[in-house]
Amino acid sequence: MRRPALALGLATAALLAGSVPATAAAPARAESPHATRCPQLSRDLPWYGHNRAKLQRTIDERGTCENPGLAHGHGRAPVAAFDWDNTMTKNDVTDATLNWSLLHDKILRPAHWRDTSTWMTPAADRALTAACGTSVPVGAPLPTSTDADCADEILQIRAEAKTMSGQEAFSGTWNHRRTVPEYAWVPQLFAGHTEDEVRSYAAAGRKAALAAPVGATVKVGTHTLSAYVRYYDQQKDLVRTLRRAGFDVYIVSAGSKPVTEVWSRSLGFDRAHTIAIRSILDDEDKLTYRTQGCGDMPDSQGDAIPYIDGKRCWINQEIFHLKGAEAWRKQDPAHRIALGGGDADTDSTFVDDATGAHLVINRNKTEVMCRGYDNADDRWVINPMFIDPLPRKSGTYPCATQGYINTDGVPGPLRRPDTSVVPDQSDRIHG
């Protein structure tokens, strides 16, 4: 990078360091000198404070503006990666697909519910068996559109990892920075279907969710759930601008791959640029209860999904082509993404790995918000949700004591690379 551009970036960073009221969405104080010739984020779409300028700085520094050879295929394109659910959209598209599927009897009865997840407890197996019954033949659709008990147990386990009676649905040992059983369980629920069938359910759920008014709800079983999903216009514009500036842009999601593909396609993401949980297929090309592994972890029932450190592994493996245990390690800047965006703790590792900008949509999730507010490299960009943002979190984020999710699931202090502890943080950027 040329020295004048670096000086400009440092000056801009200093200028943007001050706090801005939550209602602010004014243009940045200093307009990019490249604005007349380089791809620019739309000024018609509001961002919090000076976030547009912070993102624009990374686009200018890493894209074709400062590296014109990229436009002619010289040098590796900078990489941007985004989570999907509640980062690119308001609301969760995996949930939208599951809700539609339950309302249309698309979940097939397993021989034994305990087969669906290696971590399923006997209590959850009994609850699902009692609620869903055994009269439906194995492999046939469960009547979840009319059987509220069955739909309720499935939804409660997916959402809370507990049965309707409050018992733990999963137990045992797993690396809590590489997987979470209730996330891995969603593609396992679709076992017996082909990927094209799951895509068709996702497409139908997408149509219904986009047609539902903002704020609409739907009743599934006895659960009242959000019925709508919306693409964020600011994120659509950010993806378009990144691509025009020469970035290679990916989605990395802890959702099911065929589901995420349906939603990402309209933003120009092909299947190769949509990373999510990959189910192992049987000889008839139907989903099984097993999922593909990452790095040095073999295929399993969900031990290594794109979740927290798992997102780093899948990015390193699929984008930077790193193999084995190396895929789990933080890489040198040349083998890391330039811009990362997410909304939850599941995104904290890969967003932190970004070398240019770390975009966080504020949903009050402790680890990622602690990292964002600590702002160790002055490149964190925190934005309230673009639709129906959350109000200020009461109290502080317990960064110094519970800011990091350990591999055993027990929270501990969040530490900087120099091992110093991140102090507790107040919620300063909110709706």
Would you kindly state where each structural domain of the chain is located, as residue ranges? 1-75, 93-226
Q: Locate tokens 């120099």: which residue? A: 418
Q: Give the model confidence (pLDDT) of 234-265 as tens digits.
A: 999 999 999 999 999 999 999 999 999 999 99
Q: What's the pLDDT at 69?
A: 87
**Residue 8 pLDDT more than 50?**
no
**Residue the block writes with tokens 């059983």:** 181
Q: Are 342 and 88 in contact (CB under 8 A)?
A: no
Q: Which of 337, 227, 215, 221 is nearest to 273 (CA)?
A: 337
What is the tens place of the pLDDT at every residue in 301-322? 999 999 999 999 999 999 999 9
The DSSP H or E segment spanning 223 is strand 223-226
Question: Is residue 31's pLDDT more than 80?
Answer: no
pLDDT in the model for residue 16: 39
Q: Is residue 426's pLDDT more than 50?
A: yes
Of 18-32, 35-49, 88-102, 340-354, which gets the smallest average pLDDT? 18-32
Amino acid 35: pLDDT: 53
CA angle 376, 82, 244 (to 5 degrees): 100
Helices first, then strands: H and E counts in the chain: 13, 16
3-state DSSP assignment of residue 171: coil
Instruction: Write out pLDDT tens, residues 176-229.
Output: 999 999 999 999 999 999 999 999 999 999 999 999 999 999 999 999 999 999
* Coil, helix or strand at residue 217: strand
Residue 318 tokens, joined: 């699929």
Examine the pLDDT at 154 and tell me if it is beyond 70. yes
Radius of gyration of the chain (CA): 22
Widest pairwise Cα distance in the chain: 73
pLDDT at 18 over 70: no
Residues 104, 200: Cα–Cα separation, whole Å: 12
Q: Is the pLDDT of residue 104 over 70?
A: yes
Give the mean model confidence (pLDDT) for residues 2-31: 41
Confidence bin at 424 (pLDDT 50/70/90)? very high
Which H/E stretch holds residue 206?
helix 195-211
Which position has the token pair 């961002």? 47
Mean pLDDT, to the nearest integer, of 9-16?
40
pTM (whole model) above 0.85: yes
Q: What is the pLDDT of residue 67?
A: 87
Helix/strand/coil for 23: coil
Q: What is the pLDDT of residue 329?
A: 98
Other beta carbons less than 10 A from residue 47's beta carbon: 25
Residue 116 reports pLDDT greater than 50 = yes
Phi, psi of 381 (to 5 degrees): -125, 105
- Please report the sign of the dihedral spanned by the C-alpha atoms of residue 424, residue 428, residue 429, residue 431: positive
Question: CA-to-CA distance for 266 and 236, rounded, in angstroms?
Answer: 10
pLDDT average, residue stretch 341-345 = 98
Cα–Cα dist 329/312, whole Å:
8
Q: What is the DSSP string of 323-384?
A: -GGGGGSPPPGGGS-SEEEESSGGGHHHHHH-SSEEEEEES--HHHHHHHHH-TTS-EEEEE
Sign, CA dihedral 333-339-342-344, equals positive
CB 290 within 8 A of CB 301: yes
pLDDT, residue 73, reads 79
Cα distances (Å, whole numbers) of residue 43 to 50, 84, 243: 11, 23, 18
Higher pLDDT, 19 or 57: 57
| Per-residue pLDDT tens over the stretch 263-276 | 999 999 999 999 99
Residue 21, pLDDT > 90, answer no
Does the pLDDT of residue 3 top 50, yes or no? no
Question: Is the Cβ–Cβ distance between 210 and 42 less than 8 Å?
Answer: no
Q: How confident is the model at residue 393 (pLDDT cuts 50, 70, 90)?
A: very high
Beta bridge partners of 286: 194
- Residue 95, SS3 per DSSP: helix
Q: What is the pLDDT of residue 70?
A: 85
Distance between CA atoms of residues 349 and 340, nearest Å = 10
Q: Examine the pLDDT at 54 and tell me if it is beyond 90.
A: yes
The answer to whether 59 and 67 have CB atoms below 8 angstroms apart is no
Closest to 318 (Cα-Cα) out of 288, 357, 350? 350
Query: In angstroms, how far is the first alpha carbon of the chain from the final one?
Result: 37
What pLDDT is stored for residue 383 in this prediction?
98
Beta pairing partners, 121: none
Beta-carbon neighbour count of residue 354 at 10 Å? 24
Q: What is the pairing mode between strands 339-342 and 287-291? A: unpaired
Q: Which of 26-35, 108-117, 365-374, 379-388 has the lowest mean pLDDT?
A: 26-35
What's the pLDDT at 75?
82
What does the mean pLDDT of the chain come to? 93
Give yes or no for residue 290 having a pLDDT over 70: yes
